[in-house]
Homo-oligomer: A and B are copies of this chain.
């Protein structure tokens, strides 16, 4: 069964170059998915998102089921039409958000009962309902409902949690309706325990999914445990299918994870940073609220070809930031997403030229070189 097709075109060490084909178009991998939580990538029009080079965005089942509701989005013709994004969309299943609710949720074998962060209203989410919601949203890629194991967790806690997620994964698969161009990804859990990750990966492969996500990381365990867990998990994932590292990360994390064989990423970092005055550049991050930018005629990143860098100075962006102007968020978010997409493009190019190691060395050196202060 192949609802969505994945073609692996090149390898360079563990790094992989590929293309995923969905109902709403192709996705070149490694790929970064901007986060469009509430059916909008914050501060961006869909055209502006597209112009950054993004091919796929992520939206959140948890947020959308509460507002405007999946049934309503469906009456508007699905998420693509509702939000005017004609490209592919991946929806997460809500597991991560519901975990964050802490005392507002209750989990049992059937599913999870929780109270809305918006109005306190009570909701029930089961693996079957999560699939139904994502179907109503018309997601190109749906995710199974999982219990995102929190950190820290004992091995027994992580094991029980992972096994519940695997039983839910099977129910999700059974509930998913096969359609050409639409796919379902399983999510590997198991905390920071290698043997649990292996058990989880094998359980998912036995069920059979269109892609395999690595969940339950970037939840507070730190870089060392994140990457050591990724390193022991990845060999158990099938070569033939895309691998998606959920919720990661900083530019250097993406480079490192691509080097370990990851194909897909999502993270709020470029968008959230854009709304909190931060600019990502080839030479590290800039805090645009800093007064040192006020007379700087240069763009955020002199080598960047984005709309912001082609048309605006650091001095102007600084002025917008300290004036609390909406355009500050617009310009910085656009730049950051463009930076992330250029980084992914540069990695794809490096893999295609079998030069990923050299790319990594150059990237690291450039990031470490720091911003040149204008004299």
The answer for the CA separation of A320 and B83 in the assembled complex, in Å, is 10
Evaluate contact between A42 and B319: CB separation under 8 angstroms.
no
Minimum CB distance partner of A84 in chain B: B311
A window 191-238: CB within 8 A of B: none
Minimum CB distance partner of A41 in chain B: B327
A window 300-349: CB within 8 A of B: 307, 311-313, 315-316, 319-320, 322-323, 325-327, 329-330
> Which of these binds chain B: A67-75, A257-265, A276-284?
A67-75
Closest CB of chain B to A272's CB: distance in Å? 12
The answer for the CA separation of A75 and B313 in the assembled complex, in Å, is 12
The answer to whether A294 has its CB under 8 Å from any CB of chain B is yes
> Which residues of chain B have C-beta atoms less than 8 A from A320's C-beta?
38, 40
> Which residues of chain B have C-beta atoms less than 8 A from A83's C-beta?
316
> Which residues of chain B have C-beta atoms less than 8 A from A312's C-beta?
84
The answer to whether A116 has its CB under 8 Å from any CB of chain B is no
Closest CB of chain B to A42's CB: distance in Å? 6
Given A316-B39, A316-B76; A327-B67 close (CB under 8 Å): no
> Which residues of chain B have C-beta atoms less than 8 A from A330's C-beta?
43, 45, 326, 330
Closest CB of chain B to A76's CB: distance in Å? 6
Contact of A322 among B67, B84, B327 (CB under 8 A): B67
Closest CB of chain B to A164's CB: distance in Å? 31
The answer for the CA separation of A82 and B316 in the assembled complex, in Å, is 6
The answer for the CA separation of A329 and B327 in the assembled complex, in Å, is 11
Evaluate contact between A72 and B38: CB separation under 8 angstroms.
no
The answer to whether A368 has its CB under 8 Å from any CB of chain B is no
The answer for the CA separation of A311 and B76 in the assembled complex, in Å, is 12
One digit per residue, 1 when the CB lies within 8 angstroms of any chain B CB and 0 when it does not, for chain A 50-69 equals 00000000000000000110
The answer to whether A2 has its CB under 8 Å from any CB of chain B is no
The answer to whether A295 has its CB under 8 Å from any CB of chain B is yes
> Which residues of chain B have C-beta atoms less than 8 A from A315's C-beta?
68, 72, 76, 82
Evaluate contact between A319 and B39: CB separation under 8 angstroms.
yes
> Which residues of chain B have C-beta atoms less than 8 A from A76's C-beta?
297, 313, 315-316
> Which residues of chain B have C-beta atoms less than 8 A from A75's C-beta?
295, 297
Interface centre among A39, A68, A295, A319 (most CB of B within 10 A): A319
Minimum CB distance partner of A46 in chain B: B311
> Which residues of chain B have C-beta atoms less than 8 A from A72's C-beta?
294-295, 315
The answer to whether A267 has its CB under 8 Å from any CB of chain B is no
The answer for the CA separation of A311 and B45 in the assembled complex, in Å, is 11
The answer to whether A44 has its CB under 8 Å from any CB of chain B is yes
Given A76-B315, A316-B82; A326-B327 close (CB under 8 Å): no
A window 79-127: CB within 8 A of B: 82-84
Contact of A326 among B42, B68, B82, B307 (CB under 8 A): B42
> Which residues of chain B have C-beta atoms less than 8 A from A313's C-beta?
76, 82
19 CB contacts below 8 A, A to B, read A38-B319, A38-B320, A38-B323, A38-B325, A40-B320, A40-B323, A40-B327, A44-B327, A45-B307, A45-B327, A68-B294, A68-B319, A75-B295, A75-B297, A76-B313, A76-B316, A83-B316, A275-B326, A330-B330
15 other contacts beyond A43-B327, A83-B316, A326-B330, with CB at 8 A cut-off?
A38-B319, A38-B325, A39-B316, A39-B319, A40-B320, A40-B327, A42-B327, A45-B327, A67-B323, A68-B319, A72-B315, A76-B297, A76-B315, A326-B326, A330-B330
